[in-house]
Amino acid sequence: MDKTEQERMQAVFDQNPKIGRYQLAHLAGTTENIARGFLGKQRSMPMDTGLTREELRLIRSSMRGASQIEHKAYTWSGERIKFAHITDTHFGHKLSRLDWWQKVCDLIAKEGCQLVFHTGDITEGMNKRDGHVYELEAIGATNQVQLAVDRLSLLPCPCYGINGNHDLWGYKTIGHDVAQAIADKMPGRFFNLGVQEADFQINNIIIKLWHGEDGASYATSYRTQKFVEGLSGGEKPHILLVGHDHKEIAHTVRNVRVFGGGTLCGQTRWMRDKKLSAHCGFRIIEVWTNDLGIERIREEWIPFYV
């Protein structure tokens, strides 16, 4: 849609805000699909704010949740903490397998984990790529949130999570906070820590959850290495839990112990087309703390093979 076409539709719409797409397409000399899209954007904007349409458009396009990093502090009884790290479950995608999820919940219970961290992409969302809708078992934010609630309710302990880029589809389209919607339906069981990044303090150690929107690199360790290197000295956590790239990794950068959580969804068509592998599984981590921070740490990667 060129600028002239946009201006013609805007002029017709300003004269009659209740106009339908067929009449708008006829009077503005455009197609019905373009007119439908234009009307959808116009009518989703409040008109009594005192802001211009361009200002409203910019506000709408930037609706991606809180920009600040959430910091939650908890005092834990005892010097040992055992938790599970899961990520990129993509609930709503057909390759987010229920049998895998049931095994995750069973192992978390068997291992006696005290809590679970989820580093984003809880749901699959719905993007504009061709044929994406055919990959879904749950269509729309409401259905995907309910599916996530049904699955997360099987966990034997509380879960703390953040929104990932797929969850942000809800923000970008309808201002819907997926993680908060799940938390509202699961009081005391699921806790929303924020968008893309959050700090979680247990006793005197900081666990940072990070999702991000950057792409995967050829070297699996490069993405997390550069992220930690970019942190100021006072911002460094003791442990970094990572989502988004569907890669499993465990390494240390600047004395930060880094864990990439892989995914609990199989390799999607988009990943296959991009020649990106999916490391399917999750991790159980056990940490002993002392006055200086971490005294011991033990981790186990539990893989799932298609």
Structural domains counted in the chain: 2
Are 16 and 139 part of one and the same domain?
no
The Cβ of residue 47 has, within 10 Å, a number of other Cβ atoms equal to 11
Write down the pLDDT at residue 214: 80
Distances from the Cα of 288 to the Cα of 171, 204, 205, 265, 299, angstroms: 38, 11, 10, 31, 12
Task: Mention every residue, 6+ apart, whose C-beta is less than 8 A from residue 49.
Answer: 56
Are 141 and 290 part of one and the same domain?
yes
Instruction: In whole angstroms, give the CA distance from residue 240 to residue 238.
Output: 7
Are 262 and 143 part of one and the same domain?
yes
Which sign, positive or negative, has the C-alpha torsion 34, 144, 194, 162? negative
Distance from CA of residue 95 to its chain's centroid? 17
Distances from the Cα of 218 to the Cα of 48, 222, 223, 266, 277, angstroms: 50, 8, 9, 20, 11
Residues spanned by the domain of 28: 3-61
Are 150 and 18 part of one and the same domain?
no
Write down the pLDDT at residue 49: 57
Residues in the chain where the model's pLDDT stays below 50: 64-68
- The C-alpha angle with vertex 248 and arms to 246 and 254, in degrees rounded to 5, equals 115
Instruction: In whole angstroms, give the CA distance from residue 192 to residue 195.
Output: 9
Are 220 and 248 part of one and the same domain?
yes
Are 93 and 124 part of one and the same domain?
yes
CB 155 within 8 A of CB 113: no
Distance from CA of residue 153 to its chain's centroid? 18
Are 126 and 154 part of one and the same domain?
yes
Instruction: In whole angstroms, give the CA distance from residue 25 to residue 1.
Output: 13
Token pair, residue 242, equals: 């990572």
CATH number of the domain that 256 lies in? 3.60.21.10
Distances from the Cα of 252 to the Cα of 188, 226, 257, angstroms: 33, 12, 5
Q: How many helices (H) and strands (E) does the chain have?
A: 10, 12
Q: What does the pLDDT look like over 228-280, one tens digit per residue?
A: 999 987 889 999 999 999 999 999 999 999 999 999 999 998 888 888 899 99
CB 162 within 8 A of CB 195: yes
Are 185 and 219 part of one and the same domain?
yes
Are 83 and 13 part of one and the same domain?
no
Beta bridge partners of 253: 256
Are 44 and 111 part of one and the same domain?
no
Are 26 and 137 part of one and the same domain?
no
Write down the pLDDT at residue 191: 95
CB 163 within 8 A of CB 198: no
Last residue in a domain, options 61, 84, 105: 61
> Look-up: residue for tokens 């839990």?
241
Token pair, residue 256, equals: 């930060």
Buried b (16+ CB within 10 A) or exposed e, 226-238: ebbeeeeeeeebb
Are 116 and 12 part of one and the same domain?
no
